[in-house]
Structure 1
Amino acid sequence: MHAFAALSAPSEGWFSRVEPHEAVLLAGIFEELADALEAEEKRDVLDMMGVDLDPNSPKEHTLMFEKLLGVDTVSSITAHREMHSEGEDSEAETDPEQPREHTSESVQRGNTGSEPNSRGMTDDQTLAALDFDPLGPRPSPANPFIAAILRPMSQDPEEAAELRALTTPDLAAKKAASMRVVAESLRWAANGNGAVVVKPQTLKVWVTAINDARLALGWSLDIDNDTRAEEVEMMAESDPEAGVYTAYEITIASIYNALSWWLETLMLAVDD
């Protein structure tokens, strides 16, 4: 992976030469994150439509990138407390004695007869059957890597849950699309084309995608201050045989450091 530099005409954009094996690995990272973001978008839409997602499910999630990186380590990871505060979870809980879905019989009894659809139900009855509440509080993402990307927009749990209801589907879709753009460019470079090119009109997409990938990887490395970031820099140079860090941690640290450096060179090239 080489530093970004301006094309012959700076107004045309910037380029970076990436080795094929590096491009394949990074493309896989962005694609897996895009898949997870799209899954979160669908999850939030289903929740908005009243589909019970079992808010009491344990906050455990399989590690991402294990298969891609070829490392065999811990099989699950617990979400950080700040990503899944007890206040948010309690707000999302429902009374088990009160079922969320209504039977078709009860819906038919409440039919007003105005503008029925093909099923003999009005729009209001259809929404009632789905327990539809588009602005109701939403639980934070179940996948902690995605929770690190789609962070709370407020320190107040109730306000954060309400803001999440307004923004999550659209925001997750946009971030997934940005990940796809970067992944496609890396795949193109891996097929013997040698370099990725960032056009001025896609600069924001690239910066967003790389930074979001860093947030996700940084979460798994528990990076929350400059001291820990410095430790991660040294972690990437560690020997897994020493037993201080797992192969997973060392590999993720290496990718995190590489993406941080790559993003920095892109911003320097833009400034120049």
Structure 2
Amino acid sequence: MATILLIGPGAIGSLMAWSLQDRATIKVYAHRAGVSLPGTVESDEATHRLLWSLTDSLDGIDAVVVCCKATQIERATLPLIPQLSNVPWLVLCNGLGPQAWLSEQLPGQVLWASTTEGAGRFGDRVQHTGVGETRIGSPAQYPVSAKTENWGHWLTSQTGPLELHWEPDITSVLWRKLAINAVINPITAVHKCQNGALAEPQWQSEISALCEEIQSIARACGVQLPEALAERVIQVAKATRRNRSSMLTDIEAGRETEIDAILGPLLCAADRHGLSAARLQYWYQAVIRLHPLIR
């Protein structure tokens, strides 16, 4: 049985461990002080025990799965890269920048993933709040080795509680998620509201303006986003109407937000292509003003 080192035992990391624990031994690297492991996942009114353990040893690791926040990826993985540079890696986080950074550190070794699963951590348990799917693929701009791609296909061929699919165009999938997060996260964080508030009529013009900027940036980068992006954002806001965005929960807890990982790549691309991004810049600055020293 393969041994997978998991970094980031939060809600999504717990779901990934739950899905793979019958086919692999799951070891968790304590990437920060005070890391603790949930004991159970609650899903479909059933309680499922998580079979994993903390480790500080990197011996015998066959692959690495990174599920920590985008802001933590560099700090969490840098100490591991020298010893684990020859095994496959999978990175599952918000934004786009951290994935590219990790792929540059580990050429040919890093698969990217995106998930629509919903989950929340409550102390020692994780609640599976929404059934979705997880897509895994090799980014075209950072192609992986045959060994790493074969491991990705092995992951997506396994049967388990989560749906894992191989995605030939993972970059576009991540762009679509980035576009939606770039609208919902900063607005809900600044206005301290649940996602469903964005379905109210007063937000339609702002959502449309943001989506127009995002569409222009994506086109300049050679990425095709859905034409009706604003409608898709509102659909997601309605579908997750009771959810509090990750950026809002970070602000409320006084934690570092993922604003640089979510809006940062869009603003950098706009600057690179000479495009206006006034509304994105407005929300970027609005989030930073909430906690000037916590990004």
Q: TM-score range by the shorter chain?
A: under 0.3
Q: TM-score, normalised by structure 1?
A: 0.23
Q: TM-score, normalised by structure 2?
A: 0.22
Could you say which structure has the higher helix fraction?
1
Could you say which structure has the higher strand fraction?
2
